[in-house]
Amino acid sequence: MGSELHTEGLETGLDWGRHYLMVEPNHFRVDYTINPFMNLNDQPDRHRSREQWIAIIGAVEAAGGSVDVLPQLPAAPDMVYAMNLGLPLQDADGSPRVVLSHMRYRQRRIETPAADAWFAEHGYLRHTVGADGVGAHFEAGDAFAWRGDLVVGYGPRTEELGLKHLANELGVTVRGFRITHPGMYHMDLGFCPLDGTRAMVCPAAYDDDSAAALLALVPDPLVLSEEEALTFCANSIVVGKTIVMPACPGRVRAQLEEWGFTIVIVDVSEFLKAGGAIRCLTNPLDVRIGRDLAPVAGGRVLLA
């Protein structure tokens, strides 16, 4: 399942990841349990959460990036995990569009109308995969633009049928990988692209066929153990040659620094209480079809 697209220049850094959307954590708390990390008896501290959230913005800006902010709905405690609101893209001519998430769990579906309003206000053409629990589920934390394709995890949150909708709506190749690990329920917990040829990959997040296919797709993978991945080190963002991370095990740091990356650790321990870290809290707005994603007539889906 290796990439069939052009590879010229892929050894360079990611072209996206310098402009993000974040949601202000005014109402962040744990009201329910929809992943193994949530515990109603272990509530995040409001003041520490805000300090940690501000520190992410500081790290992004220090690395040369920028952040837009969306207010949080009082009744949507998980809305702070902005990555899951939708998949924003720019067409080749720069006009913006977004595929809004259709959340697996009903507790989070209240977030989508608020995200829809923000994207509408900013001129985005909006697409939907499903709504109100009807239709295929798609959560944008499962999707990455990488090596010309949309790399998407499916299973716990995004459904396989959702991949077909993405391919058809966007006119791109969607490569699907089945997630099976209960603690790595989104793609961004077991996979993190670093540049055009390198990525962090945790094989334990996927079934055997998907793990093998994902490793085959990455020319130079940094293979994470299950223990390393559960530090949330893959739930990071890359801004140029800076990687903003919630944690970085020693072996992982040594390899990343050997590759020339600068590691910036931001404590997000309060947000880990609800199962998300740096990538979950930031949604890139600068992914472009025709630059980061190669157009394909009618779209296509490739499964491991």
- pLDDT tens digits, one per residue of 36-63: 999 999 999 999 999 999 999 999 999 9
Mean pLDDT of 287-293: 96
- pLDDT > 90: what percent of the chain? 92
- Decide if pLDDT at 8 tops 90: no
Residue 5 lies in a domain: no
- pLDDT tens digits, one per residue of 134-171: 889 999 999 999 999 999 999 999 999 999 999 999 99
Residue 295 lies in a domain: yes
**Backbone CA torsion sign across 225, 228, 231, 235:** negative
- Taking the model in full, what pTM does it have? 0.94
Question: What is the strand order of the sheet 191-193 is part of?
Answer: 191-193, 198-201, 220-223
- The pLDDT, as a whole number, for residue 3 is 39
Q: β-strand 86-90 against 300-303: which pairing, if any?
A: unpaired
- The pLDDT, as a whole number, for residue 11 is 53
Question: What is the strand order of the sheet 262-265 is part of?
Answer: 237-239, 242-245, 262-265
Residue 13 lies in a domain: no
Average pLDDT, the chain: 95
Residue 214 lies in a domain: yes
Q: Are 74 and 27 in contact (CB under 8 A)?
A: yes
Mean pLDDT of 244-258: 98
Residue 70 lies in a domain: yes
Query: Which domain CATH number covers 296?
Result: 3.75.10.10
- The pLDDT, as a whole number, for residue 10 is 40
Closest by Cα among 89, 137, 142 to 112: 137
Residue 11 lies in a domain: no
- The pLDDT, as a whole number, for residue 12 is 73
- The pLDDT, as a whole number, for residue 132 is 78
- The pLDDT, as a whole number, for residue 2 is 38
- pLDDT tens digits, one per residue of 120-135: 999 999 999 887 778 8
Residue 7 lies in a domain: no
- Decide if pLDDT at 7 tops 60: no
Q: Quote the strand ranges of the chain, DSSP E.
A: 19-23, 66-70, 86-90, 96-100, 125-128, 130-131, 134-135, 143-146, 149-154, 173-178, 191-193, 198-201, 220-223, 237-239, 242-245, 262-265, 283-284, 300-303
- Decide if pLDDT at 301 tops 90: yes
- pLDDT tens digits, one per residue of 175-224: 999 999 999 999 999 999 999 999 999 999 999 999 999 999 999 999 99
- The pLDDT, as a whole number, for residue 134 is 86
Question: What is the strand order of the sheet 143-146 is part of?
Answer: 143-146, 149-154, 173-178, 300-303
Q: What are the beta bridge partners of residue 244?
A: 237, 264
Region of residue 174 (left: phi > 0; alpha: psi -120 to 50; beta: else): beta
Structural domains of the chain, count: 1
Mean pLDDT of 272-288: 98
- Decide if pLDDT at 104 tops 80: yes
Residue 273 domain boundaries: 19-303
| Residue recorded with tokens 């947000």 | 271
Residue 129 lies in a domain: yes
